[in-house]
Amino acid sequence: MSSARNGSETGVLEPLYREVLRRNAGDDEFHQAVREVFDSLGPVFARKPELQQARIIERLCEPERQLIFRVPWVDDAGVVQINRGFRVEFNSALGPYKGGLRFHPSVNVGIMKFLGFEQVFKNALTGMPIGGGKGGSDFDPKNRSDGEVMRFCQSFMTEMYRHLGEYTDVPAGDIGVGGREIGYLFGQYKRITNRYESGVLTGKGLGWGGARARREATGYGCVLFTNEMLRSRGEELAGQRVALSGSGNVAIYAAEKAQQLGATVVTCSDSGGFVVDEKGLDVELLKQIKEIERGRVSEYAERRGPSARFVEGESVWGVDCDVALPCATQNELDERDAERLVRNGVKAVAEGANMPTTPEGVTVFRKSGTAFGPGKAANAGGVATSALEMQQNASRDSWTFAHTEERLAEIMRHIHDTCHETAARYGQDGNYVAGANIAGFELVADAMLAQGVI
């Protein structure tokens, strides 16, 4: 058990955690996210008793606003469908709420709270003036026509629009919400409000207010953060064998950037299984199958040739690798997977998805000395570039891909260095989990103290 964990259990934080459990019964993912942050904060409260007096942690764990609403729409057969919409506006101490919208059958208020809570710290680490929030619906866009997706998005925005604005709450995309969905959402917002408010949504098309490199940013940023972790240990990504999970936006562009930096990415996955390609992924073929054809990774193996094979229904983490990048979804990498990766010699793990590693898995990596980059640091490139999109919208400007990518690289270096230096300042050298949690918390807590009891 870590000293941070001991500090939380014997000090002021453990009763506060029990209160979080009581007030948020059944929200398991939220409990997990709060526990992970609390386990790092014992030393902070020991140094800063004013945080306890102002009840900062109690306020930080309670969202400023939680919205749940009905989303009725009509499918192509003329049948009325009912979904549920969510937006958790968690904390605005540093700026307007910022965080994605997720359309997936698994979405519920507990997952939205977990993602919104994580977003608060992630956004703080970017150094950009943005608060944290998250939203979405249990609607599944898979196998739905464009017309059905449009009608759902229009109904969703008809309720959400009154809570949004470039100075209030600025959603982006997430799982199930890409350029198509953002377009329909923005169109309905413009139609209802009679305002061309470009900064109200990020992830827009390049021709109507979008930022270059936004699609690539989360995956690119994760790889850039990984490279910085390796550099801090006297290595670099070039020449490393990389295994990653997922085959969506984050995974595709993580693979692309890793291979640009000289690594060989050998895996990708979806809900059906995973592909191993010993020659290294053909990223253009993967883009064709996943982004254009909306196909399955099994089709990649069929079309790639003898270097690739598809493994049905198994975890990708049994594949030998130097670097692991979980880029699919929460809690996909457990203790057993972590132990396999460590036995196989993994050097660094960075989370491209939100909380993809279970607490037990994180413990395995920490005990083994593996460099471990938590999602709130490693996958912050997406929201950082969303904030850059907001800057361009505010100034009616448009930057080149190269300039935006350069800014992204600067931000990811800043996040890495902040986490690394904060961990060292609290006597936990190399502990990026503690560094990210403490650094993000201190930034938000200082702003909350300055702004009074609100």
Numbered residues of the known binding site: 98, 119, 122, 173, 218, 249, 386
Which residues does the annotation mark as catalytic? 134
C-alpha separations of 114 from 27, 35, 72, 178, 221 in Å: 8, 11, 26, 21, 22
Q: For 398-422, b where at least 16 C-beta lie within 10 A, e where not — what string?
A: bbeeeebbebbbebbebbbebbbeb
C-alpha separations of 105 from 85, 137, 139, 147, 152 in Å: 11, 8, 6, 19, 14
User: From CA 226, how far away is CA 244, in angstroms rounded?
Assistant: 13
SS3 35: helix
User: From CA 227, how far away is CA 196, in angstroms rounded?
Assistant: 39
User: From CA 444, how far away is CA 3, in angstroms rounded?
Assistant: 23
Sign of the CA dihedral 255, 258, 262, 264?
negative
User: From CA 69, how far away is CA 185, in angstroms rounded?
Assistant: 16
Residue with token string 């009912």: 82
User: From CA 395, how far away is CA 1, in angstroms rounded?
Assistant: 49
- 256's CB contacts (< 8 A; 6+ apart) are 216, 219, 220, 283
Task: Report the binding-site residues for NAD(+).
Answer: 218, 249
User: From CA 254, how far away is CA 216, in angstroms rounded?
Assistant: 8
Residue in 88, 171, 101 with CA at minimum distance from that of residue 139: 101
Lay out the sheet containing 267-270: strands in order across. Answer: 267-270, 273-277, 308-312
